[in-house]
Chain A
């Protein structure tokens, strides 16, 4: 993977309501316009005012895939941030803070303290957000970013609110910049300029955009962290793109509405988190029984129940595997980063249309709420759209059977309202002609026929999707196995381990159902030491692998404190297992947020 020549992490901490998002957003724009890559992870709590928010932004001239292991520059917006994180900042790092209101803490580990006399620098401004802008000036100075670049970004950010607003912000940023130039030592290396400007998006933006590009025309939701970003993107773009967006009374209503819209013929989508998904599950079974293609996104957060609404976890795998009563076919995929989340949407809509079944896309807070640079040329807004056996023209012949028992199990379905295709769909078991088998005369032979018809649709589905590929040296001593959002973190740990002489490779799995059991076992049967990495306590994926393949890994690395892995957590876990200390390593989360 290689991290290029520049690898820098900036952190901003404060409480909710102190306006961390604005400097974070302005910095992100500066970075991507410069053609640099970034990953932003925002650790926060379910509170509108107060608490502790901690934004980490990692910047590099090479593609960066996680928020990293270290911090170079910390900006404290309150005393709490200083007290919590000063101990993480060693020699060579800088801490920027408002010296009028914040004192250096007691856990000095060697960072340069860059106190800004904000009141003097701003002529005694009483605007409590002014310290953010002064601080940004200092950050630009310390990082070696020319002030004109910051000035341009501030202008773009504030011009909608008038020239006075622009001038005020530029003035105080300039004061912070100049003060820093005069008093503090900048970092040795300033950020290079990349090949071309990049774009920035969140994982939720990517999921929503992927849906829009796939032709979604109906989106329904009930707000729930960390999935709400999908609703916000859809709502903001609905009118321009002709997508209907409905905020519905509850997730039960959401799920049933999208199934209804899909039956009428639109590509229909909804997104929620585990609790909302629990309410949706009956409708998922309904979509399976009525053979209606529809896509549900579950953005996982730490559970169970309300759990930790603003923290990440990979704890819903068995929930989606078992969502809804009965024994039926569904598609489940766990994208591995934001761009993959985007591309997955068109892929999964084509599959649901082909196989006329529900599909579930599993994301998590780490992917969905993180912000990432992306090469705009890699975002294909016009993917191939294949609606499968969808009838779009009327017919003058009789005898249409909605659930015709075909060789493939797939029965052509019409857009609702077409002449010649009047039919019923039912959540009760039914025969080819939609006559209910459940109430009056249950018929074991017809029941078996319909169960087999629906199941048969999946016989060859593996040929439509790609199997996971082993990354890294084929004969490595250690094979790390992950699923979903951990890909970019594990990949960097693998590079670090190989650099340290621990020969390691990596298998990341994104298709949960259907599952490439044979292909995966071909790879793992040659592996020497296998370790499964996942963000939960009980090893949900390890148990799933075992149930599908009989495979049991040699060891496990698990994290379930709500915070995502950092690459060194995995490096340490591998070393501990090689050293024979444990076969189930749980890393310690150093940054407490």
Chain B
């Protein structure tokens, strides 16, 4: 969290490179919403580390002015966990896509939720593999024609919201990238939340997914906030998250108050970030180790 209040604007969080996304890509909205959220919260660029995997959306750390790691396909959550453990005073935001997070990185997704590590995970879910030019993804709908499923996808898609809740994530939300204000609000809540927050964002791929388009979502999305949903009610949250027909809910599905990994890890209970602690062993501690070997 920022230690001094400085009025930075979203422009101060603009990265050195311009996004290479296709015109109309949903990811632009997500980038804008993150920049808006962190500026409004009073962060400075060095307060934040943005970590991603590989994919169109995983290019995001290059477009935002924070510390960044653009890592391996599927490994963003593992890398980010390492960063957070080494410096738990940094705000770590993880970005990526549905293939990166729910496919190749699925194991880390499960276990990061279980650990409840204090990370904010923003998934740009376009239900397709974009960077590899249009193959089926773990969130593609049944029947969807892609280059790797020319006769239609036959596999059940994963539901990121119910998966995250079942695995133990303590802040589980969904957004649509056409609504930047709503996204920015959810991102702020997710960053403030102590524990693993995931915001799954419908971020349409205008090039390779001609089914789940902006028009598709605009007609269907409804905010949970408008329906007095109780985010502590995980059962109703799961029921509402399963809907993917005429109504698709966005907003905060579930929020729990289980302690985060950092709060229950005894090594972090005192002494500041691991990365800034002295490396040398205490003389007495070292001697005790030797004594036990005698």
List residues of A whose CB falls within 8 A of some B CB.
32-33, 197-201, 205, 209, 212-215, 217-218, 220, 237-244, 246, 248-250, 252-253, 256-268, 282-283, 286, 290, 374, 376, 379, 381-382, 385, 387, 392, 394, 415-428, 433-436, 439-440
Query: A434 to B85, alpha carbons, bound, how many Å?
Result: 24
- Residue pair B267, A439 in contact (C-beta under 8 Å): no
Q: How far is the CB of B22 from chain A (nearest CB, A)?
A: 13
Contact flag A209-B289 (CB < 8 Å), given A252-B78, A263-B82, A268-B82: yes
Q: Which one of A32, A240, A420, A433 has the highest number of Cβ atoms from chain B below 10 Å of its Cβ?
A: A240
Q: Which of A197, A218, A267, A381 contacts B289 (CB 8 A)?
A: A381
Select from chain B the residue with minimum beta-carbon distance to A243.
B267
- Residue pair B82, A259 in contact (C-beta under 8 Å): yes
28 contacts between A and B (CB under 8 A): A200-B293, A200-B294, A212-B289, A213-B281, A214-B279, A218-B85, A239-B267, A241-B285, A244-B267, A246-B81, A246-B85, A252-B75, A256-B72, A258-B82, A260-B71, A260-B84, A260-B86, A261-B85, A264-B49, A264-B90, A265-B87, A385-B279, A387-B279, A415-B87, A422-B67, A434-B16, A434-B68, A436-B17
Query: A392 to B273, alpha carbons, bound, how many Å?
Result: 13
- Cβ of B69 under 8 Å from chain A: yes
Partner-contacting stretch, out of B33-41, B57-65, B171-179, B200-208: B57-65
Contact flag A238-B67 (CB < 8 Å), given A260-B81, A264-B83, A416-B275: no
- Cβ of B280 under 8 Å from chain A: yes
Select from chain B the residue with minimum beta-carbon distance to A198.
B294
- Residue pair B280, A416 in contact (C-beta under 8 Å): no
- Residue pair A417, B71 in contact (C-beta under 8 Å): no
Q: Besides the contacts A283-B72, A417-B49, A417-B67, what 10 more A-B pairs have beta carbons closer than 8 Å?
A: A199-B293, A239-B266, A252-B108, A256-B108, A257-B82, A267-B279, A268-B82, A381-B290, A415-B276, A417-B273
Query: A59 to B293, alpha carbons, bound, how many Å?
Result: 17
Q: Which residues of A contact B271 (CB under 8 A)?
A: 242
- Residue pair A263, B70 in contact (C-beta under 8 Å): no
Q: Which of A239, A242, A267, A417 contacts B87 (CB 8 A)?
A: A417
Q: How far is the CB of B247 from chain A (nearest CB, A)?
A: 35
Q: How far is the CB of B138 from chain A (nearest CB, A)?
A: 17
- Cβ of B8 under 8 Å from chain A: no
- Residue pair A425, B68 in contact (C-beta under 8 Å): yes
Q: Which residues of B contact A263 (CB under 8 A)?
A: 69, 79, 82-83, 86
Contact flag A422-B45 (CB < 8 Å), given A218-B274, A262-B82: yes
Q: Which residues of A contact B108 (CB under 8 A)?
A: 249, 252-253, 256
Contact flag A213-B286 (CB < 8 Å), given A256-B75, A267-B279, A439-B59: yes
Q: Which residues of A contact B288 (CB under 8 A)?
A: 240
Select from chain A the residue with minimum beta-carbon distance to B82.
A260
Query: A261 to B69, alpha carbons, bound, how many Å?
Result: 12
A-B pairs with CB below 8 Å: how many?
A: 220
Q: How far is the CB of B53 from chain A (nearest CB, A)?
A: 9
Task: Enumerate B251-294 residues with CB–CB distance to A below 8 Å.
Answer: 265-268, 271, 273-277, 279-281, 283, 285-290, 293-294
Q: Which residues of B contact A238 (CB under 8 A)?
A: 267
Q: Which of A33, A213, A248, A420 contacts B46 (CB 8 A)?
A: A420
Query: A560 to B89, alpha carbons, bound, how many Å?
Result: 50
- Cβ of B111 under 8 Å from chain A: yes
Query: A215 to B80, alpha carbons, bound, how many Å?
Result: 21
- Residue pair B87, A416 in contact (C-beta under 8 Å): yes
Q: Which residues of A contact B283 (CB under 8 A)?
A: 382
- Cβ of B116 under 8 Å from chain A: no
- Cβ of B20 under 8 Å from chain A: yes
Contact flag A259-B79 (CB < 8 Å), given A238-B267, A244-B274, A419-B44: yes
- Cβ of B124 under 8 Å from chain A: no
Q: Which residues of A contact B65 (CB under 8 A)?
A: 422
Select from chain B the residue with minimum beta-carbon distance to A385.
B279
Select from chain A the residue with minimum beta-carbon distance to B270.
A242
Q: Which residues of B contact A282 (CB under 8 A)?
A: 72, 75
Contact flag A215-B286 (CB < 8 Å), given A417-B67, A427-B70: no
- Residue pair B44, A249 in contact (C-beta under 8 Å): no
Q: Which residues of A contact B159 (CB under 8 A)?
A: none
- Residue pair A425, B20 in contact (C-beta under 8 Å): no
Select from chain A the residue with minimum beta-carbon distance to B115.
A246
- Cβ of B188 under 8 Å from chain A: no
Query: A217 to B268, alpha carbons, bound, how many Å?
Result: 11
- Residue pair B72, A286 in contact (C-beta under 8 Å): yes
- Cβ of B185 under 8 Å from chain A: no
Select from chain A the residue with minimum beta-carbon distance to B15.
A424
Query: A379 to B288, alpha carbons, bound, how many Å?
Result: 13
Contact flag A217-B294 (CB < 8 Å), given A261-B82, A422-B46, A435-B16: no
Q: Which residues of B contact A237 (CB under 8 A)?
A: 289
Q: Which residues of A contact B78 (CB under 8 A)?
A: 248, 252-253, 256-257, 260
- Cβ of B107 under 8 Å from chain A: yes
- Residue pair A260, B83 in contact (C-beta under 8 Å): yes
Contact flag A382-B281 (CB < 8 Å), given A244-B265, A257-B81, A439-B20: yes
Q: Which one of A242, A248, A249, A418 has the highest number of Cβ atoms from chain B below 10 Å of its Cβ?
A: A242
Q: Which one of A248, A258, A267, A417 has the highest number of Cβ atoms from chain B below 10 Å of its Cβ?
A: A417
Query: A417 to B3, alpha carbons, bound, how many Å?
Result: 13
- Cβ of B51 under 8 Å from chain A: yes
Query: A249 to B49, alpha carbons, bound, how many Å?
Result: 23
Query: A416 to B66, alpha carbons, bound, how many Å?
Result: 10
- Residue pair A201, B293 in contact (C-beta under 8 Å): yes
Select from chain B the residue with minimum beta-carbon distance to A216.
B279
- Residue pair A264, B82 in contact (C-beta under 8 Å): yes
Q: Which residues of B contact A433 (CB under 8 A)?
A: 16
Select from chain A the residue with minimum beta-carbon distance to B89.
A417
Q: Which of B85, B279, B294 contacts A244 (CB 8 A)?
A: B85
Query: A135 to B263, alpha carbons, bound, how many Å?
Result: 50
Task: Enumerate B96-124 residues with CB–CB distance to A below 8 Å.
Answer: 107-108, 110-111
Q: Which residues of A contact B285 (CB under 8 A)?
A: 240-241
Q: Which residues of A contact B294 (CB under 8 A)?
A: 32-33, 197-200, 376
Q: Which residues of A contact B90 (CB under 8 A)?
A: 264, 416-417
